[in-house]
Structure 1
Amino acid sequence: MRTLSLVFFLLSLTFCVRDAEEFAIKIALPSDPAHLDPLFSTDLTSQKLAKFLHQGLFQTTNNSFVSPWIRNTKHIPNGMEEIWQFQLNDNSPTIDDIHFSLNRLILESYPRKADYQFLKSVSILSKDTLELRLQKGTGEREWKEKLSLPFAAIIGKEEWGKNRLRSYGKYKLVQWKKNEFIDLVYQQEKTNNLPPNIRFLILPQSTTSLFLYRKSSLDAFKLSDFLLSIPEATSESTLTKKGRSVQYVSINQTNPCFDIHFRNALNFSIPRVLIIEKLLENHADLTYGPIPLPYLEKINLKLKPIPIVYDLEKAISELKISKCYPKILTQEIDFRMRGDDENQTKGRAIKQALEEIGLKIKLRPMEKAPLYKENGEGKGDLTLLTWYSDYDSVWNFLDPLFHPNKLGNGGNRSFYKNESIGKTLSQPNRNEADAKFVIETVTLDKPWIFLWSIQENYLVSKDFLRYTELADYL
Structure 2
Amino acid sequence: MKYLLAILLLIFTSCGSGEEKTNIEPQTTLKVALAYKPRSFDPHKHTDSSTLAVTKQIYSNLFSLSETGEIVPELVESYEIKEDGAIIFKLKKGILFHDGKEMKAEDVKRSLERNLKIPVSKVLVEAIDKIKILDEYTLEIIQSNSPSILLHNLAHSSTAIVKENSVGDNEINLVGTGAFRIKDWTISEKVILERFEDYYEEKAKMEEVIFQTIPETSNRLIALETGEIDIAYDISSNDLKGINKNKNLKVINKTSLGSDFVTINTQKITDKRVRQAIEYAVNKKAIVDTVYEGYSSVPKSILSPNVFGYDDSIEGREYNIEKAKILLKEAGIKNLNLGLWIYDEPSRQQMAQIIQANLKEIGIDVEINVLEVSSFLQYTGMGEHDMLIGLWYVSTGDADYGYYPLLHSSSLGAVGNRSFYKNSDVDFLLDQARKTTSNVLRKENYKKVQEIIYDEVPLFPIAYKNYIIGLQKNVEGFIFNPNGNHILSKVYIKKPE
Are residue 458 (structure 1) and residue 461 (structure 2) matched? no
| Alpha carbons of structure 1 residues 316 and 418: separation in structure 2 relative to 1, 3 Å | same
Partner residue, 1:16? none
Partner residue, 1:240? 253
**d(CA) in 2 for partners of 1:72 and 1:223?**
38
Q: How many residues align?
A: 439
| Alpha carbons of structure 1 residues 279 and 175: separation in structure 2 relative to 1, 3 Å | closer
Partner residue, 1:443? 454
Partner residue, 1:145? 152
Q: Which one has a bigger Cα radius of gyration? A: 2
Please report how far the alpha carbon of residue 405 of structure 1 lies from its aligned counterpart in structure 2 after TM superposition.
0.8
**d(CA) in 1 for partners of 2:371 and 2:164?**
39
Please report how far the alpha carbon of residue 403 of structure 1 lies from its aligned counterpart in structure 2 after TM superposition.
1.4
User: What amino acid does structure 2 have at the position aligned with 1:270?
Assistant: V
Partner residue, 1:229? 241
Please report how far the alpha carbon of residue 406 of structure 1 lies from its aligned counterpart in structure 2 after TM superposition.
0.6
| Alpha carbons of structure 1 residues 392 and 156: separation in structure 2 relative to 1, 3 Å | same
Partner residue, 1:313? 322
| Alpha carbons of structure 1 residues 223 and 233: separation in structure 2 relative to 1, 3 Å | farther
Please report how far the alpha carbon of residue 349 of structure 1 lies from its aligned counterpart in structure 2 after TM superposition.
1.0
Q: Comparing 31-40 with 88-97, which one deviates more in the overlay?
A: 88-97
Aligned 1:124-273 pairs, distance under 5 A: 124-135=133-144, 138-158=145-165, 163-187=172-196, 188=199, 191=202, 195-221=206-232, 222-230=234-242, 232=244, 237-255=250-268, 257-273=269-285
Please report how far the alpha carbon of residue 448 of structure 1 lies from its aligned counterpart in structure 2 after TM superposition.
1.9
| Alpha carbons of structure 1 residues 335 and 446: separation in structure 2 relative to 1, 3 Å | same
Of residues 400, 404, 408, the one that matches 2:405 is 400
**d(CA) in 2 for partners of 1:471 and 1:148?**
12
Deviation string, structure 1 residues 194-223 (Cα, Å, up to 9, x no partner): 544321112122233223222212111121
Partner residue, 2:7? none
Residue aligned with 1:398, SS = helix
List runs of 5+ in structure 2 lacking aligned partners.
1-25, 96-102, 487-497
Residue aligned with 1:287, SS = coil
Are residue 35 (structure 1) and residue 47 (structure 2) matched? no
Please report how far the alpha carbon of residue 268 of structure 1 lies from its aligned counterpart in structure 2 after TM superposition.
1.0
**d(CA) in 2 for partners of 1:117 and 1:404?**
15
Of residues 262, 275, 289, the one that matches 1:277 is 289
Of residues 463, 479, 496, the one that matches 1:469 is 479
| Alpha carbons of structure 1 residues 448 and 72: separation in structure 2 relative to 1, 3 Å | closer
| Alpha carbons of structure 1 residues 233 and 269: separation in structure 2 relative to 1, 3 Å | farther
Residue aligned with 1:40, SS = coil
Please report how far the alpha carbon of residue 468 of structure 1 lies from its aligned counterpart in structure 2 after TM superposition.
4.5
Please report how far the alpha carbon of residue 308 of structure 1 lies from its aligned counterpart in structure 2 after TM superposition.
0.9
Partner residue, 2:94? 91
What TM-score do the two structures reach when normalised by structure 2? Answer: 0.79
Q: Root-mean-square deviation (CA), in Å?
A: 3.0
User: What amino acid does structure 1 have at the position aligned with 2:127?
Assistant: F
Whether the aligned pair in 2 keeps the contact of 1:101 and 1:155 (CA below 8 Å) is yes
Whether the aligned pair in 2 keeps the contact of 1:288 and 1:443 (CA below 8 Å) is no
**d(CA) in 2 for partners of 1:437 and 1:306?**
12
Please report how far the alpha carbon of residue 388 of structure 1 lies from its aligned counterpart in structure 2 after TM superposition.
2.8
Identity %: 20
**d(CA) in 1 for partners of 2:394 and 2:364?**
32
List runs of 5+ in structure 1 lacking aligned partners.
1-20
Whether the aligned pair in 2 keeps the contact of 1:289 and 1:439 (CA below 8 Å) is yes
Of residues 272, 277, 301, the one that matches 1:289 is 301
**d(CA) in 1 for partners of 2:252 and 2:47?**
24
Of residues 79, 103, 114, the one that matches 1:104 is 114
